[in-house]
Every structure is written in structure tokens, then in C-alpha cells.
Chain A
Amino acid sequence: MRVVVDFDLCESNAVCMNIVPEVFEVREDDFLYVLQEEPGEEFRAQVTEAVARCPKQAITLEG
């Protein structure tokens, strides 16, 4: 499972961070940082939720 963020689309709404802070973090500089590009399977449900809820549809999940 690999998390890919299209940073041209990302607007740092931080919805993903609300759902799975272990993987996504919007920092004080207002940019999104992917903390784990290949998170463990235990995060699959939450990351899938973050993909669905991203207001910009900027996140994709591969594998």
C-alpha cells in the first residue's frame, strides 16, 4: 500500500490529518507532509477514508 499525494492539487485542507494523523500532517507552514508513504495494512481503512474525503481528490492509494 503506497500513498501518493498530488501536491499540485493539495490545498492543505487537512481533512486527511483529521482522519489518520499517523500518515498525514499539515504543519505550521501550511504544507502537507506524508509521514509514511507506505503505511502498514492497519491504516488501510483510514487511508481509504482520507482518499474519499479529500476535498481536492488529491490523494490516491496504490496497491
Chain B
Amino acid sequence: MDRVVVVGASLAGMRAAETLRAEGFAGTLTVVGEEAGPPYDRPPLSKQVLTGQWDADRIALPSGAKPELELTWERGVAAIGLDLAAGHVSLADGRAVPFDGLVIATGAAARWIPGTRAIPGVFTLRTLDDALAIRAALGAGVQRVVVVGAGFIGAEVAASCRARGVAVTMVEPLPQPLSRVLGDVIGRVVAEVHVEHGVDLRLGVGVEAIEAGDHGVERVRLSDGNVIAADLVVVGIGVIPNTGWLEGSGLTLDDGVLCDETTLAAPGVVAAGDVARWPNPLFGEVMRVEHWEHAIDMGAHAARRLLAWAASPSDPALDMAYGPVPWFWSDQYDRKLQLAGRVRPDDELAVVAGSIEDRRFTALYGRNGRVVGAFAMNMPARVVKYRQAIAAGLTWDDALQG
């Protein structure tokens, strides 16, 4: 393997590139990135960048400025095709980049409400440009923000807008914020925190229409008949994996690039980060994970898997099965939310430390006699310990007795 191409110059791709070099890969290492600027870190976009505390230079990824990595950059140009037989990636400017090994780390794109993308004042938040555009709008006298979707992006945008003193209405069709990842009991706690900070929270309500006047967005019409005046709308209704460029390549695409247990998607092809779907042996579930740390972790793993493939192409490398306990954090107001594990709405739930009333507590999720998740609000140390215990197979009974 003399030539590796990494498609995607964000966290997973950069981590894969770093790991390839750290593990001794000395060949040509090309990184293709659609955005023109240097690689950056996304979590601050909805927090410090939006509130104005941090500028763009503060979020550059260190790996983007390491000459010792000896990267060949293809920046500001998208990959638009993959030819596995010929062994090259096609770029939007017509060139083809040949490879012996490929890392797919193209991430995901924000989902839009159809027909609203062209309305001035309606945004999604995924890229640095998105964050700077929203920040500029907030700085230009916006008074009333409507946030559509109370997932991570929506909840953090709402908190950042409140920190700027702007009126916020947050609309979520599900019964509670973050209920897909946290369930309704913890979701209700998150809802209360937002209401306590002055968010007008509309739960169980969808968006009928986003309506514009001569100068851009003016109001949001809800499925319950209510109409909310808005100077700015941020839509945070999830993401779509960036796999369009892989259509017809022969790779299996199913809400992401489908990999085997070891992150291998085809001979000589690995995938990592938001774009990758794989069977996690620890949970017995085919999953795609959009968390920050996962991009780092899987990027490194995929790089090592690719090197193992190059050393021995026919070896299924079953000892390289990738079985992490997913983990995320989210900062909203003065609360830090963390979850380790993988939670379903009907999991058992028990508060094991602190109290919900104090907004400082740890809760465990259980399924089939096992602990499958640990959530904490402002109790970060415990989640780490439980994360290790979940990986080791902690039983529900042992956890509650301990």
C-alpha cells in the first residue's frame, strides 16, 4: 500500500491520517476536503462561536497544521465519485486521485425542511460558515428566534441564543427534548432546564410552514394552529450521511456506509465517523454514531484496520472488531449533560446519585439485566466509571446494589 486517500477533512478523517502516520505509513497520504479552510472542531460552533466568545481561529484542529504529517491536500474540492475497480476517487474539478487504500470520512449534512432553504433568515448549523452566518444575524438585531428540533443542535442553539438575551421558541414534534437519545424521563428534565432559562418550549408539535415576507423569514406556522413570529429560524432536525458520491460504487449504502465489525467496507476501504454504519459487537446492534469522540476513536481504529488489511488482505482480522461504548457531552446553560452507552425509550431507568430536583444527578439505563447507559447532569466523573463498567458487562442488579 503506497497511496492512501482520506476523503473528509474533519475530525474522523484527520484522526485517521494522524494514526496512519503514527503507525508508520510512509507512503503518499492525500486528504480531500470539500471546505476550503483548514480543518476545525465542530462542538464549539453551537456554543462559544455562536455566543461570540470564540472566533474561528480558536477552533482549528491541531492536526491540520502539522507539517510532519506530510499530507497532500485537496482542499475546497468535493469528491464526487468512487471507482473501486480502477482504484480512484473522482473530484468535482474533473481530476481522479488514485489510491491503494481509502478512508471514507465524509460525515453528514444537516437535514432541511423542504422548500425553506432559500428563505433569508432560515439556517441549519453544521459548518463554520453556518455558525458565523447565524452569529452575524444575531448580531444584526434579531429579537425572536425559533429553533426547530430539540436535539443536540437545537438545544445548544437555544441555550446560546438565551445567553445573548434573545427570545427563543423551541419546537419539537416528540414529547420531550433529546428523547431519542435520552428517553422521555431524562428528556423532561432537559425540558425543565430550558423552560427555567426562559425558552418558550412547544413539545409534541410539528412545523406546518415557515413563511417569509419581503425581507426574509417572518413567522413559523405550527401543526397545532399556533403562529410564532420569527426574525431568525434555526432548523436542527438531524443529519443525512454524505454518501451521495458513493452511489453506484458497489459499496453498501444504508443510512451510511455499511462496514463489517472491523470498520472495513470493502477490500482496502474503511469508513469512520458520522458516515459509517457498522455492527457494534458490544451492543449487538448495527449503529451509526454522530458523537464527537466517536469520530476520533473510529478514525483511529479504521486507520489501523486499513494497515492490517494492507499487511494481510485475506485476514478477516476478527480481533479488530470495533466495540466502543458511545459517549457524548452537551453543554446547555450551566448544565453539562453526558451519556455513555446506547439507550432505547423503553429501557429501565434508575437515579443512582444526586437528585433530579437539584439538576445534579447520575442515572442508569438497563435492558435485559445489563446496564446499557449512564447519564449524568453535572456529575462528569461518574459517567467515566460507568462507561468502563458497561464495557465490562456490568449487570443491572450489581449496579443498583453497588
Contact = CB atoms under 8 A, between A and B. Distances in A.
Contacts, number: 42
Contact of A14 (B15, B62, B381): B381
Contacts of A11: 331, 336
Interface residues of B, number: 21
Contact of B381 (A28, A52, A53, A55): A28
Contact of B380 (A14, A53, A57): A14
Contact of B384 (A26, A28, A30, A57): A26
Nearest to A60: B62
A36 interface: no
A18 B384 CA distance: 6
Contact of A57 (B62, B327, B379): B62
A22 to B, nearest CB: 14
B90 interface: no
A41 to B, nearest CB: 17
A46 B265 CA distance: 29
Contact of A52 (B296, B338, B388): B296
A18 B292 CA distance: 16
Given A30-B379, A55-B43, A55-B329, A17 B384 contact: yes
B384 A14 contact: yes
B62 A30 contact: no
A58 interface: no
A5 interface: no
Contacts of A26: 380-381, 384
B387 interface: yes
B380 A12 contact: yes
A55 B383 contact: no
A18 B296 CA distance: 15
Given A11-B336, A12-B336, A55 B293 contact: yes
Contacts of B290: none
Interface centre among B18, B41, B380 (most CB of A within 10 A): B380
- Sorted nearest first, the 8 A-B pairs with minimum C-beta distance are A26-B381, A14-B384, A14-B380, A18-B384, A12-B380, A17-B384, A13-B329, A14-B381
Interface of B: 15, 18, 41, 43, 62, 292-293, 296, 327, 329, 331, 336, 338, 378-381, 383-384, 387-388
Given A26-B380, A28-B381, 8 more contacts: A12-B381, A13-B329, A15-B327, A30-B379, A30-B380, A53-B293, A55-B43, A55-B329
